[in-house]
Structure 1
Amino acid sequence: MFMFTHDCSACDRTQLIFPSMITGATRTDAGTQVTFECWCGAPQTALRSAAKGENREMVAA
């Protein structure tokens, strides 16, 4: 898993989400649906699109 940024719907901030904050992940045809808790404490969900051979910058945690 990797870190990513997310725009929180509760605190309206863009936050860096670490793997340790993730509470669940489900693979779908569109990518991976990730559930996590924002730094403000609000539960959040994000759909991370599936990589299809494209070059994407990854950050190791």
Structure 2
Amino acid sequence: MFDHHCTACGKRELIFPSQVTGLTNTDHGIVVEFECWCGSAQTMVTGRAAERRPQTTLAA
């Protein structure tokens, strides 16, 4: 499970493993393909080769 800011609906949502539709290992990192809760196809690059984003603190 990870959080993602959807480019279609603009919401920050938790993405569960059942929403993941594909994984591709590239030179730039691991490309994770998934479907947002709104139904929009989304991608995210992660892994060691991916550019690191700043840490964010989640409110409790």
Superposed pair shares fold, TM > 0.5: yes
Whose RCO is larger (CA < 8 A, sep 6+)? 1
What band does the TM-score fall into relative to the shorter chain? Answer: 0.7 to 0.9
**Distance in 1 of aligned mates of 2:43 and 2:27:** 16
Counterpart in 1 of 2:25? 27
Q: What's the TM-score once normalised by structure 2's chain length?
A: 0.73
**Distance in 1 of aligned mates of 2:29 and 2:48:** 4
1:2-59 CA deviation, whole Å, 9 max, x = no partner? x1111100000111111110000001223210111000000001111328xxxxxxxx
* Backbone CA RMSD of aligned residues: 1.4
Q: What's the TM-score once normalised by structure 1's chain length?
A: 0.72
